[in-house]
């Protein structure tokens, strides 16, 4: 499902669970179920191997200060068997399982149970050895671009492209939450033109608006954080959608897909026949008009319903003769007029 060969009318929606499970296997399973119920097609986690990716005293981001990131990753890490079980649960639910990797060791862990694709998070774009290992798997790659400039992104794309071109690049802004003015939808379009690859949006705003516009602009993937409740512990929960909000995101995207894929023939008004009869107007006899009388403007009015001669015919029938007697307040039809002088 996550690949670089999607129909332009279809958008893959990824529910980014990330670390919103807070180390609870039960919550992780519940989040998979919530993602499915909300209409996502892919559920995404983050696979951290703490000792492989961070020093114990590495600084935490400003939006995370409850505990050290190292301690957090240690506390919330799943075992290989738990990861296998989560992937199995996702697939049995009907979702594709996906996870962001933060080290080569994380890649090797996920490869044990044959994941179908890999996500490169924004902070790993410059980690070319990691990208090299991911690319060697020959599996589709989603590449977030949240904190990289063009030169860094070029190097990342080229590293993967040396092995294959099944790459989708996600415009992403590494701000939590991301203000509207920093979403960078222009960058998404520039990435598509620059790399000739599918693009999407990993959206960190607090609403669905950016995702909707991204779909209109041609995004093939939308990723958004999902939580059971914004009151849950962790750095991402407060910036995530709750299940019903996520469901509204999916409903909106599917509606936009239908709108974009459905072409309307403006000349085909057959489906409006009842509405036209109800809301449009016709030429109506203001006064009784005898058969053979020359029709003058004073004899006519314009009133509902729209079942007779339209008002646009007014100039055309002035000066014509009545083909038969016409009662007052009667809708005029073509049969009421002698069209030849």
Does residue 7 have a pLDDT over 50? no
Residue 267: C-alpha distances to residues 184, 271, 285 (Å): 38, 11, 30
> Do the domain assignments include residue 1?
no
Show which of 215, 232, 261 is a domain's final residue: 261
- Cβ contact 186:199 at 8 Å: no
| Residue 180 confidence (pLDDT) | 92
Does residue 233 have a pLDDT over 70? no
In eight-state DSSP terms, residue 79 is P
> Do the domain assignments include residue 43?
yes
155 and 251: one domain?
Answer: yes
257 and 285: one domain?
Answer: no
Rounded CA separation 249/255 (Å): 10
Is the Cα torsion angle 5, 97, 122, 185 positive or negative in sign?
positive
- Quickly state the pLDDT bin for 286 (edges 50, 70, 90): very high
Rounded CA separation 229/34 (Å): 11
Domain count, the chain: 2
Does residue 8 have a pLDDT over 80? no
Can you give the residue range of the structural domain that contains 246? 12-261
- Quickly state the pLDDT bin for 237 (edges 50, 70, 90): low
| Residue 4 confidence (pLDDT) | 41
Rounded CA separation 331/320 (Å): 16
Rounded CA separation 220/41 (Å): 13
Show which of 237, 261, 285 is a domain's final residue: 261
Q: Where are the beta strands (DSSP E) in the chain?
A: 12-18, 42-47, 96-101, 118-120, 141-144, 167-172, 199-203, 221-225, 282-285, 300-303, 321-322, 337-338
149 and 283: one domain?
Answer: no
81 and 151: one domain?
Answer: yes
Q: Which residue has the higher pLDDT, 63 or 170?
A: 170
What does the mean pLDDT of the chain come to? 92
Helix spans in 50-103 (H): 50-53, 69-76, 80-93
| Residue 6 confidence (pLDDT) | 46
CATH of the domain at 144: 3.20.20.70
Rounded CA separation 304/281 (Å): 4
185 and 318: one domain?
Answer: no
In eight-state DSSP terms, residue 341 is -
| Residue 269 confidence (pLDDT) | 87
Averaged pLDDT, 314-329: 95
- Cβ contact 44:103 at 8 Å: no
- What is 213-240 written as a DSSP string? HHHHTT-SEEEEEB-S-TTSSSTTGGGS
Range name among 50-54, 182-186, 235-239 with the lowest pLDDT average: 235-239
Q: Which of 246, 302, 250 is nearest to 12 (CA)?
A: 250
| Residue 63 confidence (pLDDT) | 65
Q: Tell me what percent of the residues of the chain surpass a pLDDT of 70.
A: 94
Which range of 238-247, 264-273, 327-336 scores highest in mean pLDDT? It is 327-336
| Residue 228 confidence (pLDDT) | 83
How distant is the alpha carbon of residue 31 from its chain centre?
20
Does residue 341 have a pLDDT over 60? no
- Cβ contact 121:46 at 8 Å: yes
Does residue 260 have a pLDDT over 70? yes
Does residue 234 have a pLDDT over 80? no
> Do the domain assignments include residue 86?
yes
282 and 242: one domain?
Answer: no
Show which of 201, 230, 261 is a domain's final residue: 261
290 and 314: one domain?
Answer: yes
Note the pTM of the prediction, 2 decimals.
Answer: 0.87
Q: Which residues are within 8 A (CB) of 220 and not within 5 positions of it... i.e. 6 or more apart?
A: 6, 8, 10, 11, 12, 168, 198, 199, 200
Measured from the Cβ of residue 177, the count of other Cβ atoms closer than 10 Å reads 17
Rounded CA separation 336/5 (Å): 61
Does residue 20 have a pLDDT over 90? no
> Do the domain assignments include residue 7?
no
| Residue 71 confidence (pLDDT) | 85
Averaged pLDDT, 43-62: 88
Residue 147: C-alpha distances to residues 144, 150, 170, 241, 341 (Å): 9, 10, 12, 23, 79
Q: Which residues are within 8 A (CB) of 265 and not within 5 positions of it... i.e. 6 or more apart?
A: none
Averaged pLDDT, 191-207: 96
């Amino acid at each position: 499902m996550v690949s670089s060969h999607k129909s332009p009318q279809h958008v893959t929606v990824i529910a980014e669970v990330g670390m919103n499970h807070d180390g609870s296997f039960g919550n992780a399973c519940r989040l998979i179920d919530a993602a499915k119920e909300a209409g996502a097609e892919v559920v995404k986690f983050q696979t951290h191997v703490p000792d492989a990716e961070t020093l114990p005293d590495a600084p935490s981001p400003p939006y995370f200060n409850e505990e050290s990131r190292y301690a957090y990753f240690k506390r919330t890490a799943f075992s290989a068997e738990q990861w296998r079980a989560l992937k199995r649960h996702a697939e049995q639910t009907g979702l594709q399982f996906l996870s962001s990797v933060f080290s080569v060791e994380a890649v090797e862990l996920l490869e044990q149970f044959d994941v179908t694709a890999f996500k490169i998070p924004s902070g790993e774009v410059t980690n070319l050895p990691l990208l090299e290992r991911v690319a060697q798997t020959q599996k589709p790659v989603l590449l977030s671009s949240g904190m990289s400039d063009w030169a860094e992104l070029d190097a990342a794309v080229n590293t993967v492209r040396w092995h294959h071109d099944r790459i989708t690049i996600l415009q992403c802004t590494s701000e939590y939450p991301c203000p509207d003015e920093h979403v960078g939808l222009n960058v998404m379009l520039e990435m598509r033109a620059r790399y000739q690859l599918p693009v999407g949006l990993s959206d960190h705003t607090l609403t669905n608006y950016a995702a909707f516009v991204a779909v209109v602009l041609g995004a093939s993937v939308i990723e958004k954080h999902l939580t059971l409740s914004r009151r849950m512990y962790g750095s991402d929960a407060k910036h995530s959608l709750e299940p019903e909000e996520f469901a509204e995101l999916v409903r909106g995207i599917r509606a936009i897909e239908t709108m974009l894929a459905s072409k309307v023939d403006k000349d085909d008004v057959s489906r409006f026949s009842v509405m036209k009869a109800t809301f449009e107007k016709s030429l109506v006899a203001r006064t009784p008009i005898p058969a053979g009388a020359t029709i003058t403007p004073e004899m006519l009015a314009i009133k509902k319903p729209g079942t007779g001669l339209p008002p646009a015919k007014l100039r055309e029938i002035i000066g014509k003769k009545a083909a038969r007697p016409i009662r007052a307040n009667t809708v005029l039809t073509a049969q009421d007029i002698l069209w030849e002088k």
